[in-house]
Amino acid sequence: MERPFVFINSAMSADGKISTKERKQVRISGQIDFNRMDKLRAGSDAVMVGIGTVLADDPSLTVKSAELKEERISSGRDENPARIIVDSKARTPLDADIFKKGKGKRIIIVSESAPADKVDLLKEQAIIVVAGEENVDLKKAMSELKNQGIERLMIEGGATLNWGMISNGLVDEFYTFVGNLIIGGKTAPTFTDGEGFTEKDIQKLELIDAEKMEEGVLLKWKVLANSEK
């Protein structure tokens, strides 16, 4: 199957949580890491999140640096990468910040089970991709994004989407900023939630780089394919 190069970027606490039990956005990293994240966005064709993150954080997913936006425009690209939401039931609010802020393409990936009237309303603001029957079929979705010219895809969470992408073998690399805090809580989201692997299927990684940054550490991982394990 042909798909884009896919990487996840995330910030987690020292105990692996990406948010608190209230599931609201929490500041884990500092400005240096946010600037690094902005560069990753600017260098991507698209940035993708799950509907859970849209409902919890309402991110805009825009490129923040004027210089980086200018660079994109002068190389013939939109100011922002395409912004994509994985949303089986078309629950994306019509007034989400993704629609209100910044220029560029928006793509909502829904399943066949999404209510047609809500899909019609979303069509006024976004390109709709249908992949899967009940829930979004991420493999089909990746192939469709590749067909739409997306070569480099950045995933910005959350926990359930990260699991869906990794467990389906759809991630090449991921970068985690590990911050100097403990969040705790068995219901607080971790970097990958979902069902979890059994021992025989555990996903193996290769450490590409580890760099001390601000009060934490930035880890870069390659996700090993079956043939490399």
Ligand X SMILES: NC(=O)C1=CN([C@@H]2O[C@H](COP(=O)(O)OP(=O)(O)OC[C@H]3O[C@@H](n4cnc5c(N)ncnc54)[C@H](OP(=O)(O)O)[C@@H]3O)[C@@H](O)[C@H]2O)C=CC1
Torsion sign (Cα): 141, 102, 32, 66 = positive
Residues in 113-142 that interact with ligand X by CB under 6 A: 135-136, 138
In 67-105, which positions are buried (b, 16+ CB within 10 angstroms) versus exposed (e)?
ebbeebeeeeeebbbbbbbbbbbbbbeeebbbbeebebb
As measured in angstroms, the least distance from the Cβ of 49 to ligand X is: 5
* C-alpha radius of gyration, the chain, whole number: 17
**158: contact with ligand X by CB under 6 A:** yes
**Cα–Cα distance for residue pair 57/35, rounded to 1 Å:** 19
**13: contact with ligand LIKH6CAM by CB under 6 A:** no
- Sequence-distant (≥ 6) Cβ neighbours of residue 147 within 8 angstroms: none
For ligand LIKH6CAM, the binding residue among 53, 88, 111, 192 (CB under 6 A) is: 53
Choosing among ligand X, ligand LIKH6CAM, none, which partner's interface includes residue 37 (Cβ < 5 to 8 Å by kind)? Answer: ligand LIKH6CAM
Q: Which stretch binds ligand X (CB under 6 A): 23-31, 76-84, 122-130, 214-222?
A: 23-31
Please tell me what DSSP assigns to residue 224.
P
**155: contact with ligand X by CB under 6 A:** no
The residues binding ligand X (CB under 6 A) are: 10-11, 18-19, 23, 25, 28, 49-53, 56-57, 86-89, 91, 135-136, 138, 156-161, 164, 189, 193
